[in-house]
Chains A and B, each alone.
Chain A
């Protein structure tokens, strides 16, 4: 292996062959729904997760800018693995309404909900998460890209594995 000196010109590795992998070899992406009324949250989520994969499968992000919109999307298709969900949007509990709609109306207990919020409206953090069948609670100001990825990894693992009776989210 060649040892690089400080002033050496940068030598790039050759680019891989384009279209080397046949589409049938690629695993389908994880469907992730990002719900937030703040456009920059969508941007930063997209940037942070753009090239990230779990189990060799990339993420396909779908964006909703309000609770109402998210409910419409959840009604349209049921194969979201994870929802990254803001709480305070058009009203103080808009995000929790989405969670409740998913669990109670759509009776979907498999899709993992990661609650991300500045502060969760009128309920305390853990109450909000537990009562409304949310799996994870992440205060916005603590979500580094690593933490986002590791939480997503756990959520995707839970989504893929058989239901765990002790999770207690009404499954």
Chain B
């Protein structure tokens, strides 16, 4: 059994193509050539019989081959030799080479040799790569600015790179083998072993894979802020850890500087905010005083307007009483003439008509002034008939209009009702009308046309004059606060700004202006409320 079976196994090895099995005589002539040899060297079995072992060895290794053959002649085997071999095509590869002498049956004479050759170029490359890689890692560790320290599961330092040496002022040999807690101030110094035990027990990491800012302790005992990232290098029975450390003293200082700067900026910003608030408050006060000024102007206008009919009434009624006194005396003395009585009656008629007319006028003035003055003082919303209200506003502005020889023409396509704050509406219209007087008709009078119409659910009110117009360089600024061409004459530059704010903010509308020098100006207000029909037809 045995011989047969051994032979079969030997054949199997011979035919495997992993290794080359070659037999040769002591002169190097090849006697047997395995399938693996065919594959490894590229020679067929037949052609291999014609070559010498020397053909398989690159020129540089020929001496070695001679040495090997010499050893074999002295019956010595060479179990393993790392060397180089050459293929049929001339390629040289790293090889592991084992060779044994073949003895005669008596074991006295060396008949030849049998060799086993395997290609180890892959393994060799891996080993070289690994060495190269280690060297690189070492270079990196030596070069990086981050301190890199590895410790074992017990917290004992295994490696300590130059950057770590610089940071902690320890030489590597001083700390390798020490507990890593020498690099930590209290309380970390005392607690670190506990951290490691805790991690080993629970697997709950405080730093590993997270990274944090901690404190480091130098050899001289001084403490510095550092960032620390820790990774587990190998799991299992004996885990080890790598810590990557950056000294963040400078970063901390910069941070503190930035913090200081931020505080300064914040103080400046707070001051600015306070200034803006104060400005807003002042603007509010100005707006308020503008409103009061407009109310004051209204009252002054009222005083003048109403004094005229009252004065006429005072003169006229006292004249009536004078007539009456004269009549009484004449009657009493019987000196009354018919012509005198006729004259007196005619006088009385004329005078009482005058009184009535002027009392009516005063009453009407007071009622319209009262309406706009009350509207000025309250912020309530109510529904107004736009055209009627425009007429009230214009009536209250009569003194100014008269002064500038301006008249107002109101036209409307239908009836319009808006729910709004009438005082604010008064401010809009009176400001626009007075602007037309003060600017448009400063030199000579004319007509101010107010038109109301509807356009896609919006009420459009235009105030147009044919006066002086607005200079193109001023046109873009008329709604800006404090822009005025009449500062010297007491203009605040707030009128149109208030109009703008009321229209756009309080009434959610828009206002625009078109103007041409010498041709006049047109202000267009668009309010987002469709004219609604009056509640009932009784109005």
Q: Total contacts A to B, CB within 8 angstroms?
A: 101
Residue of A nearest to B399 (CB): A88
Known: A43-B350, A43-B354, A47-B354. A118 touches B338 (CB 8 A): no
Could you tell me the dominant secondary structure of chain B's interface residues? helix
Determine if A47 and B319 form an interchain contact, defined as CB atoms under 8 angstroms apart.
yes
Find B337's partner among A15, A44, A48, A147 (CB 8 Å cutoff): A15
Q: A90-B405, A119-B303, A148-B315 are in contact. List 5 more A-B contacts (CB 8 A).
A: A13-B334, A13-B336, A41-B312, A88-B403, A140-B308
Q: Which A residues are closer than 8 A to B by beta carbons?
A: 1-2, 4, 10-16, 37-38, 40-41, 43-45, 47-48, 50, 88, 90-92, 116-119, 139-148
Residue of A nearest to B405 (CB): A90
Give the top 9 A-B pairs by smallest Cβ distance, nearest first. Answer: A140-B311, A118-B307, A144-B318, A118-B304, A145-B319, A145-B318, A12-B338, A48-B319, A141-B310
Give complex CA distance A43, B351 in Å: 9
Determine if A37 and B350 form an interchain contact, defined as CB atoms under 8 angstroms apart.
no
Contacts of B319 in A (CB 8 A): 44, 47-48, 145
Find A47's partner among B308, B311, B316 (CB 8 Å cutoff): B316
Give complex CA distance A40, B313 in Å: 10
Kindly provide the distance from the CB of A97 to the nearest chain B CB, expressed in whole angstroms: 13
Residue B402 at the A interface, CB < 8 A?
yes
Contacts of A11 in B (CB 8 A): 334
Kindly provide the distance from the CB of B429 to the nearest chain A CB, expressed in whole angstroms: 22
Residue of B nearest to A146 (CB): B318
Give complex CA distance A13, B305 in Å: 45
Contacts of A147 in B (CB 8 A): 318
Contacts of B336 in A (CB 8 A): 10, 12-13
Determine if B312 and A38 form an interchain contact, defined as CB atoms under 8 angstroms apart.
yes
Q: Which of A142, A143, A144 has the most CB of B within 10 A?
A: A144
Kindly provide the distance from the CB of A38 to the nearest chain B CB, expressed in whole angstroms: 5
Kindly provide the distance from the CB of A1 to the nearest chain B CB, expressed in whole angstroms: 7
Give complex CA distance A14, B339 in Å: 10
Contacts of B331 in A (CB 8 A): 10
Determine if B312 and A40 form an interchain contact, defined as CB atoms under 8 angstroms apart.
yes
Give complex CA distance A14, B338 in Å: 8
Residue of B nearest to A149 (CB): B322
Determine if A41 and B403 form an interchain contact, defined as CB atoms under 8 angstroms apart.
no
Residue B309 at the A interface, CB < 8 A?
yes
Find A13's partner among B314, B335, B354 (CB 8 Å cutoff): B335
Residue B8 at the A interface, CB < 8 A?
no
Known: A2-B334, A40-B358, A41-B312. A146 touches B307 (CB 8 A): no
Contacts of B311 in A (CB 8 A): 41, 116, 118, 139-143
Interface readout for B460-472 with A: 1 if CB under 8 Å, 0 if not? 0000000000000
Residue of A nearest to B317 (CB): A144
Give complex CA distance A16, B340 in Å: 11
Q: Which of B334, B339, B357 has the most CB of A within 10 A?
A: B334
Residue B409 at the A interface, CB < 8 A?
no
Kindly provide the distance from the CB of B362 to the nearest chain A CB, expressed in whole angstroms: 10
Give complex CA distance A15, B342 in Å: 12
Kindly provide the distance from the CB of A102 to the nearest chain B CB, expressed in whole angstroms: 22
Find B315's partner among A2, A10, A45, A92 (CB 8 Å cutoff): A45
Interface readout for B280-313 with A: 1 if CB under 8 Å, 0 if not? 0000000000000000000010011111111110
Give complex CA distance A14, B340 in Å: 11
Determine if A14 and B322 form an interchain contact, defined as CB atoms under 8 angstroms apart.
no
Residue B341 at the A interface, CB < 8 A?
yes
Find A15's partner among B322, B339, B358 (CB 8 Å cutoff): B339
Contacts of B354 in A (CB 8 A): 40, 43-44, 47
